[in-house]
Chains A and B, each alone.
Chain A
Amino acid sequence: MPTRKIQVKLYFVASERPPLERFVPVLHTILRDDALGELMIDVVDYGHVHHGPGVVLIGHATDYGIDLGEGRPGVLVFRKREPVTGDRIADALGRALRFAALLARVPELGSALRTDEVLIRLPDRLHAPSTDAGFERLTAELSALGQRLYDAPVALERASSPRQPLSVRWRAPSSPTVEELLARLP
């Protein structure tokens, strides 16, 4: 059974730790304004944790975070439980890009993204074990989507040890804008 649990992370251009305290009120506003069009519950701040989840807008089906994992800040979207119709990776990526577009409306956040690198993670060890076979299955799914988005093959590399959730990093030859990528999504 394919997993419903999918994480997509896009990295900020700026590699230094972002000012999380500035993101917190913005996330509250996104929640209040129902700007993501899905049920959001609360904002949590894990800025005190080293290379942690940063600040997260917790939702019923999706979490949207300013993630500090790997020591590389970025936007991380976690599709947790709702059934996905169509391309599940594209769905999660689309949410991440729309979230990034909302953040970009507040320039002082410094949340500009580079789109030539994306981390896809499946935190579901039962249905998506971090094995060679799991990696092969996921790369097959990602290759076609990457080709469509960048009009060129994307390089896919395994980014997880057997103990970590299955993760694949995709590297593209170009870095289109968020809007361009959104327009190319299926």
Chain B
Amino acid sequence: MSEQAGYKQHLSGQIREDWAREIDIFETQLELRQQGKIEEKLFAETRLRRGVYGQRYDNGQRHDGVTNRTLAFPQRASKGPGTLWDAPGMMRIKIPFGKITADQLDVMAELAEEYSDAILHVTTRQDIQLHFVHIEDTPDLMRRLAAVGITTREACGNSVRNVTACPYAGTCHTESFDVTPYANAITFFLLGHDDTQDFGRKFKVAFSGCKSEPCGLTNFHDIGAIAVTRQVDGETQRGFELYVGGGLGSVPQAAKLLDDFVPEAELLPLSQAICRVFGRLGEKDNRSRARLKFLVKKLGIDEFRDLVQQERKALRPDPRWTAFLDDLSVTDERPLLPAAPLGEVPTDPAFAAWQRSNVRRQAQAGYAVASITLPLGDLTSDQARGVSELARRFTGDTLRATVDQNLLFRWVPEAALPELYRGLEALGLGEPGSGTISDVTACPGTDTCKLGISSSRGLAGELRRRLEVIDGELGAAARDLHVKCSGCFNACGQHHVADIGFLGVSRTVSGRRVPHFQLVVGGQWTENAAAFGLAIGAIPSKNVPLVTERLAKRYAQERNASETFRAFVERVGKKQVRAMLEDLIEVPPYDVDPSFYSDWGDPREYTISDIGVGECAGEVVPFAQMGLAASEREVFEAQLLLEQGQSPAALERAYRAMLSAARALTREKNPNLGEDADEVVREFKQRLVEPRLFWDQYAGSKFSHFLFRWHDHDRGDAGPDDARQAIEEAQLFVDAAHECYARLAS
């Protein structure tokens, strides 16, 4: 295990008890996997649900430009199918609605330089990712995050991913109301919820404060919630226009309207009902058709809505549905400094350029939101520490990560903007251009992603350099275009909703592979990404910058007054757009220009042989199976406790193991089953033991009585003999539970 296991002791008492326990459990699971006591796929999903993701080359194979080579990692247990234990991976850190405190940023800076490569990467879903992390470092990494209020639980895998929201929420001119407390409530309500554990694929939720702006991107989320209000009897009621079944990927689909007004008190239960329908009816076998969008399409929105409403009625009431409404100010940010207008504008042209592109006035007079332009979403640990200091000086502590891979300071007095700018400039973060054509968004692509086909980051870096150079020639409209690059059809770079988007593809020319990008034009970023772009054709990777420049210049020169790029493309026509690029589609022969046969930023001759099996889909492991695995792990922990001489704790853990297994099984029969031990035992008896489902051919109901007896027993005063007996019985009970589950599943 990690040499730094000391963080468990070092941070003792500084981590929420339940989170500390979860991380301890994960550490135990690492040990069990090393001992071969957890099955490979189950462990893979387990670690994914803790945010521990695979990374390119983790199958131990890499093409060096000449031939495929084996990376000789020490031979140990795998951490998933085709995923070597010692191969470095990616750690995804969930940042709900992108809100980061200065202390959190400091800790992430430390983690990046101690466990990663001193780079923090902001993703297109407001997460932070660290790359090249060893799995054995992850429990301590999680503890350090947990100590500052961050959990990585369900950052990956078939779960509810990071809940995103407009980063301007609470400061925006166009919002109906601040969606932050609602995004916060749904984050922690759905986190680890029983009804989100049986998904066939990931599930994404986004919030927007208004319909007109792009910031929430609700149109391509599984649940997209747009804040709306209505007047009833002279009172303003808050609610949400709720959309479902949107998604990008290889088959982009616009979200469908489920309900034009979901009252705020219904947001959580209705979302729970949606999750339950998805868990029950969503595809589990065919991973490429397992997202909610396929279920909504298959059923039709009307039938889907009916099912959700039926499910809603069947839900067991939960006080958490509305408890958060008692204090919606819990997520409010308060300014550190008093509001003050900018006054005399500094004459520094660099400041003026930065102010023009990176500063937006808040709804609150005298305050502004200032954006940090992060190249490719990256910042160093040193920069992160500098940014956290600026947050402490100017904003009262917080920042927001954005879906276009930048960071925002909010609540900056306008008068303080010049000083903030100087601070950023000193950190090398004073670049203007946030949200403009040169602020290119990119997923990790072939740099680190197992699925990457082309180098989206290499391309984005090149585009950024070139577009900055021609920025002055473009005029305001073209300067505001959005360019986004994805390394493959999975669309993590969100290319479908860019004005000019690219997705990595490969073509073969005279027997050699050539990196290409499919050009997609005319996506609509505004109105929460209201429309997807049109595919024009595959462009050799090395010509993509020329294509982008040409499109931007033609738009600048030929657009009609106030014509958007999408309207321009529609007016000109797809055929004509392709015609204007025809000369850039050709690939020169290898002996004329071999540079076309390598990708941006990678001198190796291009190949697609490094593509591995992605983990975006996770492994489908049913709730019951996860529960049974948890009970096995608890039996193991009970044994350790007994060895340490902690008999009462060992007995309690063995009893809990039986209870976990019983609950996992019983929930197959009663999805509303709670966590109260009396209820679990009663329901288990009624639904599984009495109908002879939890039943052994020879022993009858014997194993169930182990649970019943210890449930009724005074467990507080156990000696070693009691504990030993309970552990042995728990092991038999868990084995019987597996048999029972196999019968139920068949």
Q: Tell me the A residues contacting B by CB distance below 8 Å.
A: 1, 3-5, 24-25, 28, 31-32, 39, 41-42, 44-53, 56, 58, 60, 63, 69, 80-81, 123-127, 163-165
Contact of A28 among B110, B375, B603 (CB under 8 A): B603
A73 CB, nearest partner CB in chain B, Å: 14
CB-based contact B376/A48 at 8 Å: yes
CB-based contact A163/B62 at 8 Å: no
Given A39-B72, A39-B73, A51-B382, also A28-B65 (CB < 8 A)? yes
Contact of A124 among B106, B114, B378 (CB under 8 A): B114
CB-based contact A127/B4 at 8 Å: yes
CB-nearest residue of chain A to B455: A45
CB-based contact A58/B117 at 8 Å: yes
7 sampled A-B residue pairs with Cβ under 8 A: A41-B88, A45-B461, A53-B117, A81-B134, A124-B114, A127-B4, A164-B382
Report how far A110 CA is from B333 CA in the complex, Å.
50
CB-based contact B603/A52 at 8 Å: no
CB-based contact A46/B88 at 8 Å: no
CB-based contact A46/B65 at 8 Å: no
CB-nearest residue of chain B to A21: B601
Is B57 in contact with chain A by the CB < 8 A criterion? yes
Q: Tell me the B residues contacting A by CB distance below 8 Å.
A: 3-4, 6-7, 10, 56-57, 62, 64-66, 69, 71-74, 86-88, 106, 110, 113-114, 117-119, 131-132, 134, 375-376, 378-380, 382-383, 385, 427-429, 447-448, 458, 461, 464, 601-604
CB-based contact A49/B113 at 8 Å: no
CB-based contact A60/B62 at 8 Å: no
CB-based contact A53/B603 at 8 Å: no
Contact of A56 among B4, B62, B74, B117 (CB under 8 A): B117
CB-based contact A126/B6 at 8 Å: yes
CB-nearest residue of chain B to A5: B114
CB-based contact A48/B114 at 8 Å: no
A19 CB, nearest partner CB in chain B, Å: 14
A58 contacts which chain B residues (CB < 8 A)?
88, 117, 132
A165 contacts which chain B residues (CB < 8 A)?
113-114
Contact of A123 among B6, B73, B113, B429 (CB under 8 A): B113
CB-based contact B375/A39 at 8 Å: no
Known: A49-B428, A53-B118; 20 extra A-B contacts, CB below 8 A, are: A24-B601, A24-B602, A28-B604, A32-B64, A32-B69, A39-B73, A42-B56, A42-B62, A45-B461, A48-B378, A50-B429, A51-B428, A52-B380, A63-B117, A80-B134, A125-B110, A126-B4, A126-B10, A164-B382, A164-B385
Contact of B375 among A4, A41, A49, A127 (CB under 8 A): A49
CB-nearest residue of chain A to B447: A44
CB-based contact B119/A49 at 8 Å: yes
Given A32-B66, A41-B57, A42-B57, also A48-B429 (CB < 8 A)? no
Report how far A88 CA is from B100 CA in the complex, Å.
37
A129 CB, nearest partner CB in chain B, Å: 11
CB-based contact A49/B378 at 8 Å: yes
Report how far A47 CA is from B458 CA in the complex, Å.
11
A45 contacts which chain B residues (CB < 8 A)?
458, 461, 601
Closest CB pairs A-B (n = 5)? A50-B428, A25-B603, A48-B375, A32-B64, A123-B114
Report how far A28 CA is from B599 CA in the complex, Å.
14
CB-based contact A46/B114 at 8 Å: no
CB-nearest residue of chain A to B106: A163
Report how far A78 CA is from B66 CA in the complex, Å.
28
A32 contacts which chain B residues (CB < 8 A)?
64-66, 69
Report how far A78 CA is from B553 CA in the complex, Å.
45
A125 CB, nearest partner CB in chain B, Å: 6
A163 contacts which chain B residues (CB < 8 A)?
106, 385
Report how far A163 CA is from B375 CA in the complex, Å.
25
A78 CB, nearest partner CB in chain B, Å: 8
A124 contacts which chain B residues (CB < 8 A)?
4, 114
Contact of A50 among B73, B131, B383 (CB under 8 A): B383
B515 CB, nearest partner CB in chain A, Å: 16
A178 CB, nearest partner CB in chain B, Å: 25
B599 CB, nearest partner CB in chain A, Å: 12
B56 contacts which chain A residues (CB < 8 A)?
42
A50 contacts which chain B residues (CB < 8 A)?
380, 383, 427-429
A157 CB, nearest partner CB in chain B, Å: 19
A169 CB, nearest partner CB in chain B, Å: 16
Given A32-B66, A41-B88, A126-B7, also A49-B380 (CB < 8 A)? yes
Query: Interface centre among A47, A60, A69, by most B CB within 10 Å?
Result: A60
CB-based contact A69/B464 at 8 Å: no
CB-based contact A39/B71 at 8 Å: yes
Report how far A143 CA is from B428 CA in the complex, Å.
35
A20 CB, nearest partner CB in chain B, Å: 10
A68 CB, nearest partner CB in chain B, Å: 9
Report how far A169 CA is from B493 CA in the complex, Å.
41
Report how far A124 CA is from B429 CA in the complex, Å.
26
CB-based contact A52/B114 at 8 Å: no
CB-nearest residue of chain B to A78: B117
Report how far A137 CA is from B533 CA in the complex, Å.
60
Query: Interface centre among B64, B66, B118, B119, by most A CB within 10 Å?
Result: B118
CB-based contact B117/A51 at 8 Å: no
CB-based contact B379/A49 at 8 Å: yes
Contact of A1 among B3, B73, B134 (CB under 8 A): B3
Contact of A125 among B3, B114, B427 (CB under 8 A): B114
